[in-house]
């Protein structure tokens, strides 16, 4: 079949991902390559000191993104997008979305970016002997209980953003295991919520106004490769008010952006890992065995198949770098010249490649939001330098790129040095790698490992969840996801690999010595 015939026959699969700065939909064809896409840009809102996304913006953005996808299909192939073989939804993990018995939202969606649950996260970590990060849904719930917030006795359902959108489209209160692992700890033996820990939570909340059993409000976990519902008439009208796209399309389990990133980079096997770098940056390393100790800097989540993963998640990555590039662009415009945005980024990266390996004493903290890995409840972007620094544009540019990965390297050092976790390969993807050099080389130096960018590195999580939807439609029902990805999706895909350069590694290590010594200044600035 031609691509047009494939689409007309309803054989294509669709992935939709709600990221932190855009909602993206991807349509994939017979060979899993993207055929068309739709995009809607959006941003979180700081309301009363809380980072939120209003759910009305979720619905509008979803509809606008799907409209853009349908228009792209019509423009490229001259056919209407009326159906699909499979559809999947992915989104930012974690956060706090709770609803009452009537389905009404009880409080605004508190996103992963908030650092307001330190007390709850610390108490749960101690009670479970398992690290509970501040951004996890259970930390938000317990913090609300500790504060005796008025809504807690009305909670009937808690889910993630992906779970919520999946519910809007299918009516099913379900979740994929990877996304579930950012709500509450998973028992790898049962691939369900850890029963001992849910029991502990129920005992902790006795005597509070939260009277339900925790298990009664959590979404049901559906295994990867299993149908998790079908598009309802109401869901079809939400996606496409014109009625062109029809109900009945099967859905794979909704997943988190970390899991779709793993899928999109074929890094779900043991001793593999990936780094996703955009508004936030996180590394996912599939474990062969449990860690020896509990580390507050490291989360334990899962792959889409339920295998344990060590996750180092940092709230801040490219936001400050983007702000600097915008400022440089403004300076050029004031001087009477102007570069298109992609060329401006290429220029800054090219300058960074020429900078001194240690940035000659220029240190950049990119903290727009709080950063639990370094113990910050709030963020203040900060740049400082030694008086004898040359302070040239090349060193400044390199320091800004270093700043995007510096906090990640702190957490990864715990894995590789303290826990002796072995890595065979790390795949990288996300906005930071749109211009591979020097970001790829710098990440290799920061992590002390080979970094590979696949041809698919720019496709992102929307493509990853589309692959999970395609896996759901496979003919061989016994085939594992790892085999499916290796044998059908990535078999002939090329990639570029960069190894750590000694000079870069030594320079980055020197930079990090100053970076960690200067964190006290960042902590002081965050109090202003």
The pLDDT tens digits of the residues spanning 77-90 come to 999 999 999 999 99
Average pLDDT for 382-389: 94
Token pair for residue 297? 């800097």
Q: Picking from 103-112, 334-343, 426-435, which range would have the lowest pLDDT averaged per residue?
A: 426-435
Q: Which helix (H) or strand (E) holds 63?
A: helix 55-77
Q: How sure is the predictor about 278, in pLDDT bands with cuts at 50, 70 and 90?
A: confident
pLDDT of the residue at 449: 85
**What SS3 state is found at 496?**
strand
Q: How many CA atoms lie within 13 A of 81 on its CB side?
A: 33
Is the pLDDT reported for residue 442 higher than 80? yes
Is the pLDDT reported for residue 192 higher than 80? yes
Q: Are 493 and 265 in contact (CB under 8 A)?
A: no
Residues 61 and 322: their CA atoms lie apart, in Å, by 23
Q: Picking from 69-73, 370-374, 396-400, which range would have the lowest pLDDT averaged per residue?
A: 370-374
pLDDT of the residue at 433: 77
Q: Which of 437, 258, 256 lies closest to 352, judged by CA? A: 437
- Beta-bridged to residue 256, according to DSSP, are 91
DSSP code at position 69: H
pLDDT of the residue at 440: 85
Sign of CA dihedral 138, 113, 453, 467: positive
Token pair for residue 233? 């008439």
Domain edges within the chain: 1-93+223-253+460-488, 95-159+184-217, 266-454+495-528
Average pLDDT for 38-60: 94
pLDDT of the residue at 493: 80
Q: Pick the residue with more confidence: 85 or 266?
A: 85
Q: Are 265 and 273 in contact (CB under 8 A)?
A: no
Per the document, the length of the chain is 528
Residues 375 and 76: their CA atoms lie apart, in Å, by 49
Q: Which helix (H) or strand (E) holds 245?
A: none
Residues 386 and 407: their CA atoms lie apart, in Å, by 21
Residue 238, exposed/middle/buried by CB under 10 A (0-12, 13-18, 19+)?
middle
Domain 266-454+495-528 in CATH 3.30.420.40? The answer is yes
pLDDT of the residue at 439: 80
Q: Are 45 and 109 in contact (CB under 8 A)?
A: no
pLDDT of the residue at 143: 98
pLDDT of the residue at 309: 94
Is the pLDDT reported for residue 310 higher than 70? yes
**Long-range contacts (CB closer than 8 Å, 24 or more residues apart) made by 380-387:** 380/522, 380/525, 380/526, 380/528, 381/320, 381/323, 382/521, 382/522, 382/525, 384/518, 384/521, 385/361, 386/361
Q: Are 321 and 309 in contact (CB under 8 A)?
A: no
Average pLDDT for 323-327: 96
> Topology of 1-93+223-253+460-488 in CATH?
Nucleotidyltransferase; domain 5 (3.30.420)
CA distance to 87, 130, 289, 312, per residue, from 126 (Å): 39, 7, 22, 19
Q: Are 318 and 432 in contact (CB under 8 A)?
A: yes
Sign of CA dihedral 71, 73, 77, 79: negative
**What SS3 state is found at 452?**
strand
What are the backbone angles phi and psi of residue 159, rounded to the nearest 5°?
A: -150, -175
DSSP code at position 374: G
CA distance to 477, 479, 481, per residue, from 473 (Å): 9, 11, 12
What's this model's pTM, rounded to 2 decimal places? Answer: 0.85
Greatest Cα pair distance in the chain: 67
Block residue for tokens 């979180």: 44
Q: How sure is the predictor about 171, in pLDDT bands with cuts at 50, 70 and 90?
A: very high
Q: What is the mean pLDDT of the chain?
A: 93
| pLDDT over 90 percentage in the chain | 80
Q: Are 410 and 354 in contact (CB under 8 A)?
A: no
- Measured from the Cβ of residue 243, the count of other Cβ atoms closer than 10 Å reads 11
Residues 61 and 67: their CA atoms lie apart, in Å, by 10
Residues 299 and 280: their CA atoms lie apart, in Å, by 15
Average pLDDT for 390-419: 94
Q: Are 66 and 77 in contact (CB under 8 A)?
A: no
pLDDT of the residue at 457: 58
Q: How sure is the predictor about 480, in pLDDT bands with cuts at 50, 70 and 90?
A: very high
Q: Checking DSSP bridges between strand 382-385 and strand 362-365, what pairing results, if any?
A: antiparallel
Q: How sure is the predictor about 372, in pLDDT bands with cuts at 50, 70 and 90?
A: confident
Q: Which of 64, 72, 1, 75 lies closest to 36, judged by CA? A: 72
Average pLDDT for 134-143: 97
Q: Are 463 and 69 in contact (CB under 8 A)?
A: no
Residues 193 and 177: their CA atoms lie apart, in Å, by 9
**Domains 1-93+223-253+460-488 and 266-454+495-528 belong to one CATH topology:** yes
Residues 36 and 459: their CA atoms lie apart, in Å, by 11
Angle at which helix 436-447 crosses helix 393-413, to 10 degrees, equals: 40
| Model confidence pLDDT, tens digit, residues 447-479 | 888 888 876 656 678 999 999 999 999 999 999
Is the pLDDT reported for residue 201 higher than 90? yes
Is the pLDDT reported for residue 430 higher than 90? no
Q: How sure is the predictor about 495, in pLDDT bands with cuts at 50, 70 and 90?
A: confident
Is the pLDDT reported for residue 199 higher than 90? yes
């Amino acid at each position: 079949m031609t691509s047009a015939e494939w689409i007309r026959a309803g054989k294509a699969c669709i992935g939709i991902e709600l990221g932190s700065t855009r909602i993206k939909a991807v349509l994939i064809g017979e060979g899993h390559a993207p055929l068309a896409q739709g995009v809607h840009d959006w941003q979180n809102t700081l309301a009363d000191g809380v980072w939120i996304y209003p759910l009305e913006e979720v619905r509008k953005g979803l509809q606008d993104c799907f409209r853009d996808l349908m228009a792209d299909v019509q423009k490229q192939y001259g056919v209407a997008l009326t159906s699909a073989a499979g559809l999947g939804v992915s989104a930012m993990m974690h956060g706090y979305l709770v609803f009452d018995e009537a389905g009404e939202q009880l409080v605004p969606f508190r996103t992963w970016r908030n650092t307001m649950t330190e007390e709850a996260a610390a108490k749960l970590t101690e009670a479970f002997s398992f690290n509970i990060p501040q951004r996890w849904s259970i930390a938000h719930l317990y913090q609300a209980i500790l504060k005796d917030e008025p809504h807690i006795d009305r909670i009937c359902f808690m889910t993630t953003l992906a779970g919520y959108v999946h519910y809007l489209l299918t009516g099913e209160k379900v979740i994929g295991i990877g996304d579930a692992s950012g709500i509450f700890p998973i028992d790898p033996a049962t691939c369900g919520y850890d029963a001992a820990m849910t029991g502990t939570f129920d005992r902790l909340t006795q005597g509070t106004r939260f009277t339900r059993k925790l298990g009664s409000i959590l979404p049901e976990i559906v295994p990867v490769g299993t149908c998790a519902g079908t598009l309802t008439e109401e869901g079809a009208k939400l996606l496409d008010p014109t009625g062109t796209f029809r109900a009945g399309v099967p859905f794979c389990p909704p997943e988190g952006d970390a899991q779709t990133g793993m899928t999109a980079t074929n890094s779900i096997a043991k001793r593999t890992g990936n780094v996703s770098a955009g508004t936030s940056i996180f590394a996912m390393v599939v474990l062969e065995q449990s860690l020896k100790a509990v580390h507050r800097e490291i989360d334990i989540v899962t792959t889409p198949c339920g295998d344990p993963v060590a996750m180092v998640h940092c709230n801040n990555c490219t936001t400050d770098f983007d702000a600097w590039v915008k400022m440089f662009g403004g300076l050029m415009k004031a001087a009477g010249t102007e570069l298109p945005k992609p060329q401006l980024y290429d220029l800054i990266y090219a300058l960074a490649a020429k900078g001194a390996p240690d940035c000659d004493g220029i240190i950049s903290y990119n903290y727009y939001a709080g950063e639990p890995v370094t113990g910050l409840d709030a963020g203040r972007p900060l740049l400082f330098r030694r008086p004898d620094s040359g302070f040239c544009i090349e060193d400044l540019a390199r320091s800004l790129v270093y700043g995007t990965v510096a906090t990640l390297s702190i957490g990864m050092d715990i894995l590789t040095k303290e826990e002796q976790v072995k890595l065979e390969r790390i795949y990288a993807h996300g906005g930071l790698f749109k211009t591979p050099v020097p970001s790829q080389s710098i990440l290799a130096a920061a992590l002390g490992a080979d970094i590979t960018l696949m041809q698919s590195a720019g496709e992102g999580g929307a493509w990853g969840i589309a692959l999970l939807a395609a896996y759901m439609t496979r003919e061989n029902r016994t085939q594992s996801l790892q085999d499916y990805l290796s044998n059908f999706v990535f078999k002939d895909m090329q990639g570029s690999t960069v190894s750590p350069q000694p000079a870069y590694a030594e320079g980055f290590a020197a930079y990090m010595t100053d970076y960690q010594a200067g964190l006290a200044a960042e902590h002081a600035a965050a109090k202003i």
